[in-house]
Chain A
Amino acid sequence: MRACLDAMEARLADLLQSGLDTGGTDAAAAFSRLAEECEACGLHTGRALMDRLTRLLEGRAHALEKEDAPLLDALFEAEGYITLCRERWQETEIRRSWQRSQKKWDGTNETEGGTHR
């Protein structure tokens, strides 16, 4: 999941670097691939956001009159979503790491001739 979040954020950052006018078409294809990755990781909202971005970017490429507000809404919503997912992932990782340490700690105490309790 972390790799998928990193990839999404990196792609959004690339788009900011190049700008919608220059990097929009390439980004649409990349977001389409990321939508599938999101689904594989269980990030259903992520998939919906990536699909929305793909649709809007493809539409923009062929539109004579560029209307960017919905695209920017989707883009910044995706960034907000990544931040939230990352927060949740961080919390899960910390808990997991503590559980591992605790198991190790319990194991060490048991092998040293019974627990301290």
Chain B
Amino acid sequence: MELPQALRAALSAADEEYLTALSNKGTVNRAKKDLAAARPVVQRTGEASVTLSLGDTVCTIAAPLGSSTCSCPSSAMCRHRLTAILWLKEEASREAAPPAAPSPEAGPAEDLTALLAAFPTDQLVRQLGERRVSALVQREADGEGAAIREGSAVTVELPWVPATVRFIVPLAHSSCTCHSRSFCVHRAEALLTWQLRRGAVTPEALLAASRAASGSEGSRREICALVQEALADWMRTGLSRLPPSARDTAERLAGLSHVGGLPALERCLRRLHGELQGYFAHSAAFRTEGLLRRMSEAWRLSDALRRAGDREAAALAGVFRDEYRAAGDLQLYLLGLRAVDLPSGYAGTVYYFWDIRKHRFYAYRDLRPTFYEGRRRPERAETTVWELPGTLRQAWNCRVNLSGARLSGEGNLSATAQCRGTLLQKCPPGTVLPPSAVMEDFSSLLPRSRPGRDELRRLALLRPARGERQAYNQVEQRFTLRLLDGMGRDVWLTVRYRDWERDVVEALEKLAARWEQAPGLRPVFFGELYREAGRLCLYPIECFWDWEGTP
């Protein structure tokens, strides 16, 4: 059979190591078995390719072999293509091969060496970030680096991941055991290790480059393209085969978005990272639908940012939570506080204030990132800000006057040193907040609970006419109290039992028992509204038995 010269050369250069690098060992073995029973029929021989049918599938084998295609659904190198390659290889070897012209596809290992050495180190450093590059240099210095084997493919084993990367010519067809089709972080780590070992770059130059790269910004469109590439990769691979390194990818992309001035996308990716953490930690609360929702948000936002002009992109990019504007003097009342552990990777305490003059809620968030720590610190220091005489927790139900306060667009207070606070007397909330702030008619709560609204705009104070305690849900570990207004409209107060919610659930159980004994009581609930399963729900932050009396 007459084969195109470039293809013949590529076939003769493709040994088992090369084919394994193109797919994986299992698929190569399967293709060898299939070859025994295969009856390929050559349909067409083109200038640079051969099209042949194997049963129901049609394969087009071309040089370089990684660019061959198949009519089966797989977008990776499938067993059909490998079977066809092995069959063509046998056919080619039967004939007396003409002297193969040197071509990059079929080149000896020197070509691969040249390609690996010429790969831009800066690009690898940017992809990995300062932390990974430093760790890689340290591992090499300690002699605990990757194991490298060189042949028709360069195989780099990264035992600390663990992952195995196989480089071949062309580099785009190299593979990684993480199943990623794109140039993943493992490929970057493997290639950088190879460059270090070969002396193509020195550890000192590498560390200097990584420090310089950590301050540089990627363009908006580049970052969005990277986000979409990663999401497409995960969607093609599927969750069941997704490597744990996907978490690192999400975190790295969030970091890139932060540096690139895309806070909305950063928050999106942090939430996505949280979902992936839940999946890989086998969390019982993990839902594939939730991850899909996060991926969808990230995809649609990055797509919109990529297509938008500069002015539109500025609006889509959002603002960093720490962008504060001068708010002058504020008269506040500390209404409540709660501990939070957010899926976006932050944990701490949120303090909720009522603005006495403007009749709106503000928050001071004492949150720390947890995504750089292996686990949360068990004890956290109490919050002290604005030079108040004591901790913020001690200012609960006290009036606080601030001068030189700074506020973010979302209503978050800054801990700026320019702001001075004066702690005034403790007083009942009913004497500070007007009666109109407390909802006795629940019909007005529905618009406030709309998903997507800021948390502070979903806060509400409710005074129900009565409450109906529901049986504790043992399966979902959930405490529920049905709150009803005078017209029978209900809001469901719900708390799921978690470690940090234990005190809340216990307090609510006592409250419910007391309310059952004294149904004439009119407690006021302060909390965050949301919707779930066709119900209007409230996550409780505080409950006041005696709204107008002593707190």
Contact = CB atoms under 8 A, between A and B. Distances in A.
Contacts of B239: 16-17, 19
Contact of B236 (A20, A61, A76, A102): A20
Contacts of B240: 17-19
Contacts, number: 124
Contacts of A104: 488
A10 B488 contact: no
Nearest to B484: A101
Nearest to B179: A19
A4 to B, nearest CB: 15
A112 B252 CA distance: 66
Interface stretch (A29-37, A46-54, A67-75): A67-75
Q: From DSSP, what is the main secondary structure of chain A's interface residues?
A: helix
Given A16-B292, A80-B300, A90 B534 contact: yes
B73 interface: yes
A108 to B, nearest CB: 9
B299 interface: yes
Given A19-B241, A68-B236, A105-B487, A76 B295 contact: yes
A97 B72 CA distance: 50
Interface in B231-245: 231-232, 235-241
B535 A97 contact: yes
Contact of A20 (B69, B235, B299, B303): B235
Contacts of B487: 98, 101-102, 105
B97 interface: no
Interface in A86-103: 87, 89-91, 93-95, 97-98, 101-102
Contact of A98 (B60, B303, B443): B443
**Interface size range of chain A in the complex:** 35 or more
Interface in B215-246: 228, 231-232, 235-241
Contacts of A18: 238, 240
B219 to A, nearest CB: 19
B446 A13 contact: no
A79 B291 contact: no
B384 interface: no
A23 interface: yes
B237 A94 contact: no
Contacts of B288: 13-14, 16-17
Given A16-B235, A16-B288, A60 B531 contact: no
B488 A102 contact: yes
Interface string A104-115: 110000000000
A45 interface: no
Contacts of B532: 90
B534 A97 contact: yes
A60 to B, nearest CB: 7
B231 A23 contact: no
Nearest to A73: B303
A104 B531 CA distance: 23
Interface in B443-462: 443, 446, 450-451
B71 A17 contact: no
10 contacts: A10-B289, A12-B292, A16-B291, A21-B74, A21-B76, A24-B73, A61-B73, A89-B534, A93-B534, A105-B488
Interface of B: 60, 69-76, 228, 231-232, 235-241, 287-289, 291-293, 295-296, 299-300, 303, 442-443, 446, 450-451, 484, 487-490, 531-536
Given A10-B289, A16-B238, A21-B76, 9 more contacts: A16-B291, A16-B295, A21-B73, A21-B75, A64-B60, A66-B75, A73-B299, A97-B534, A98-B443
Interface of A: 9-10, 12-25, 60-62, 64-66, 68-69, 72-73, 75-77, 79-80, 83, 87, 89-91, 93-95, 97-98, 101-102, 104-105
Q: 7 closest A-B pairs (Cβ-Cβ)?
A: A19-B238, A93-B534, A101-B488, A64-B69, A79-B296, A105-B488, A13-B288
